[in-house]
Chain A
Amino acid sequence: MIKTVITSKGNKTSSLFDPRFGRAEWFCIYDEDKEETSFVENESQNTVHGAGRKAVEQIVELGAGRVISGDFGPRSKELLDQFKIQMVVFQGEGMTIAEIIKKIK
């Protein structure tokens, strides 16, 4: 039912976890029910200003209920709170997406 977004440095499950949120390179969407992963590029990674806000918009459009990242900026926190999206701050630098998915299963 719930979709989880994990910030990623690449578009494969062997890619590394990206600890940045607004400027993460890719978003990995993990569907708990279907146990499927898909990747979308973060449209706001190269924005000069307000990357976090645009990233939140993209995540809301993807219909995710949870975001796993290394940290969130103050604007992103506020917006994700409003949209009732669960934020998970995880110090998982150096871990791959596959390893994180294994943890949340």
Chain B
Amino acid sequence: MSRRKRLRRILAPPGFKGYRPYGHIRGKMDHIELLYEEYEAIKLADYDHMNHQEASVLMGVSRPTFARIYESARRKIAMALVETREIRSASGNAWMDESWFLCEDCQSRFTMPSTIQAQRCPLCKSANIKAIHTA
């Protein structure tokens, strides 16, 4: 089993469900899923003009991980443009400030304000936690 993906913090989910190409000659193609954290990476780096170091701190991941998320996002967008594919946003491994978490060991639910760094259950210190998507 591969290592668990650390949850990535995002400020807000994308304001769209997806983008669809029009006027293309090719038939219907499969869509591409752009994850929330990938959207956030593009937003921080290319819209807010942050460097990768600053952006990685905001998202709660290391700089190399941020670079990987960003790379994956750019490749997906390029692929969608070239292959005239639809882009859909998907929730991925992200959480927001208002998100709630569930500890899978002691079943407690909790929030994670930005003042808290450790991604662990505050009660039993288990790292086996997941974000609960209420939206």
Binding site for B on A (CB under 8 A): 4, 65-66, 68, 80-81, 84-91, 100, 103-104
Contact = CB atoms under 8 A, between A and B. Distances in A.
A103 B123 contact: yes
Contacts of B110: 86-89
The binding surface of chain B is classed by DSSP as loop
Nearest to B116: A86
B108 A88 contact: yes
A86 B111 contact: yes
Nearest to B97: A81
27 contacts: A66-B122, A68-B122, A80-B111, A81-B98, A81-B111, A84-B114, A85-B113, A86-B111, A86-B112, A86-B116, A86-B122, A87-B111, A88-B108, A88-B109, A88-B110, A88-B122, A89-B108, A89-B109, A89-B110, A90-B106, A90-B123, A91-B107, A100-B123, A103-B106, A103-B124, A104-B122, A104-B124
Interface of B: 97-98, 106-116, 122-125
B128 to A, nearest CB: 15
Given A81-B98, A86-B122, A103-B123, A91 B113 contact: no
Nearest to A87: B111
Contacts of A81: 97-98, 111, 113
Contacts of B97: 81
A80 B111 CA distance: 10
A14 B107 CA distance: 23
B111 A68 contact: no
Given A90-B108, A91-B108, A84 B122 contact: no
Contacts of B122: 4, 66, 68, 86, 88, 104
Contacts of A90: 106, 108, 123
Contacts of A104: 122-125
A84 B113 contact: yes
Given A81-B97, A90-B108, A91-B107, A68 B113 contact: no
A24 B113 CA distance: 23
A68 B111 CA distance: 11
A32 B116 CA distance: 14
B124 A86 contact: no
